[in-house]
Each structure stands twice: as C-alpha cells, then as structure tokens.
Amino acid sequence: MKEYKAWVQNTVSPFTNLEFSFMEYPKLGQEELIIETKAATLNFADLLLSSGMYQSNPRLPFVPGFEVAGYVKECSSDSNFSIGDRVVAATTVFRSGRHGSFGEICVASENLTYKLPENVSFEDGAAILMSYLTSDFALHRRAQIKPNELIMINAAAGGVGLAAVQLAKISGARVIAAVGSEEKKELIKQFGPELVINYQEENVNEIIEGVFGKRPLDILYDQVGGDAYQQGIRLLGSEGRALIVGFASGNIPSQILSYLLVKNISIMGVFMISFENNDREYLKKRMELIFDLFINQQIEPIYKTIKFDEIINYLDLIGRRKTVGRIVALR
C-alpha cells in the first residue's frame, strides 16, 4: 500500500495526540488535486477538528490542515491546472476530507485552488489565502461595506482580524480594532485603525463613546462569540450588520431577538467555502485582486514560519491565544 508521512489523527482527541507517522495515499477524486505541501497554515479550526468539534468531521484516521501552498503533484486530464503549477488551496478537510496540509501531500478542491504568482513565495501565499479571502468575502460580498462606515473588528490581532483591518481601511471605512492584550494593542497600531481597544482591561463602550460620541457601529466583525459578540451587537445602530466569522471563545451566543428587531439589524454568516460550487469565478477574481494588493504592498500579512516538527507546539500556543497573526509551517 502506497503511503506518505504526515501528522495523523487516529482518535477523536486533543491535538496533542497527533502522531507523525504514515498515512494511506489518497485516490484522486473528481475536480480534486493532489498537492505537494511546501507551506501549511495552522488554524484554530485545526484544534476543533482534532477534538471532533468542527462542523464537519473526517473519518478516522485523518490529517488536519486546512490551507496549503505548494506544487500540483497530480491532476485529472481535463483539469484547469497542470502538474508542477505553484498554487495555494483550501484542502478538502473543510468538507470532511481526510488528507489535510499537515503532511507531505494533501488533497484540495480545484474550485478552491488558485495559481500563485511567481513573485509571491509559498509562505506568503499560505499566510494570505484564507485570512484575506475570508475577510474580503465578509466585508464585500456579505456586508457590502461602504466608505466612512464605522466597523469594529474583534480579535483584530489574529490572522483573519489583521486582514479585516487592512481591507476595511482600503475600503475607506473607519476601523475600531478590539484585541485581548497590550502587546497585541501595540502591534495593531501600525496598521492604522482609528481606535484600538484592549477589551480585557478597558471599558469598550466608554472608549468608543469618548472618540466617536453617540455614533453607533455600522458593522460588527466577530470571530470570537461569547461576551465579545454580545457587547458588540448592542453597539450596532439601525440597519447595522453583524458578520459571524467564527466562535474562537468556544461560546456560541444566543441572539437578542428583540434588539435585532427594533434596530433592523442583519446577522450575516460568513462561510466562504460554501461558494466552492456556487460562485467559483467570484472567488477566483477576488483572490487575484488580493494578490495584486500584496504585490503592490497595499496589504501586509503578519506571520511566523516554523518547522513541520513544531506544529503541535504552535497549535498549543494558538489554543492558549499566545500567537499574533498567522503561523506557517514549512517543509
């Protein structure tokens, strides 16, 4: 039986039980690619996947890892890609696939694979892919953000949050960045949000009112859930939009329906992967635009590169909220 080396999850258990061992080699499915991994991005969702808490869970054993940059190793004869193409991709782990990017190779959907420009490195591509594409999808496709709108971005020092701050500013919005420590507060200032708040130590309502007066939020960008979401939703004004990007706190909030009703507030789910089949051309064009922004130095991903054998250590740091930006493992 043909095999490859990978970080393998053999049981539904914490990520600390990942084993670097052999995994059966995948068969190439319809509209799928097998990619040789050069860079793999670590995500909080990998922790949920290992513990069986993600919204779709692969059959055991499986290899975690949602994002990859590398070379096309295998493709079908009628593919839009060729063997040797440099690409970034979302792996099929997003939809219960078993071969994520924490291995020598992985499986990706053609519809969520994008050619990597020659002047963009594998590590840059891996750091950019899902953080910027998700934030772009949230801000433009879902919220339809406009110049001078006031947006608060929770967990703004994470990879997705940093991308949202930069893209919202490019759109001409007024940005409030909410973070969980003084270290993260200092980091985010370099990206020029109008206001940065440490929501762990400061009174969010008082600080926002001190800068913006009684002006309410137009958009809440939330990937935390729990208390951060409940506080943010009450700051939205009439016809405000709440973007639900994730639940990093582990607390999925209940909705204050009476408040949503009287304020005409819209709650918008953000799961860009669902557009894999619905509007693949839209995502492709937006990814090309994002790479152009990077090449023209209009966006700057913040990330740390690590060795492949350090993946477990850094998943632990992600779980304890001890990282800033993105973590990219190199092979």
- My answer on whether 200 and 232 are in the same domain is yes
The better pLDDT of the pair 326, 233 is held by 326
Residues 249 and 296 grouped into a single domain: no
Range of the domain at 47: 3-128+279-330
* pLDDT at site 292: 98
Span 117-133, mean pLDDT? 97
Antiparallel, parallel or unpaired: β 86-91 and 105-115: antiparallel
Average pLDDT over residues 111-123: 97
Bigger pLDDT: 77 vs 106: 106
What pLDDT was estimated at residue 54? Answer: 80
Inform me whether the pLDDT recorded for 248 exceeds 70: no
pLDDT at position 315 over 70: yes
Neighbours of 54 (CB within 10 A): 18
CA 26 to chain centre: 25
Q: In this prediction, what percent of the chain has a pLDDT beyond 70?
A: 96
Residue 252 above 70 pLDDT?
A: no
User: In this structure, are 181 and 253 located in the same domain?
Assistant: yes
Task: Give the CATH number for residue 156.
Answer: 3.40.50.720
Q: What pLDDT does residue 309 have?
A: 96
Split into its structural domains, the chain has a count of: 2
Q: State the average pLDDT for the chain.
A: 92
Beta carbons within 10 angstroms of residue 138's beta carbon: 28
Helix (H, G, I), strand (E, B) or coil at 34: strand
Domain boundary among 224, 249, 269: 269
How do residues 97-110 score in pLDDT, each as one tens digit? 999 999 999 999 99
Mean pLDDT, residues 272-281 taken together:
76
Phi, psi of 192 (to 5 degrees): 75, 30
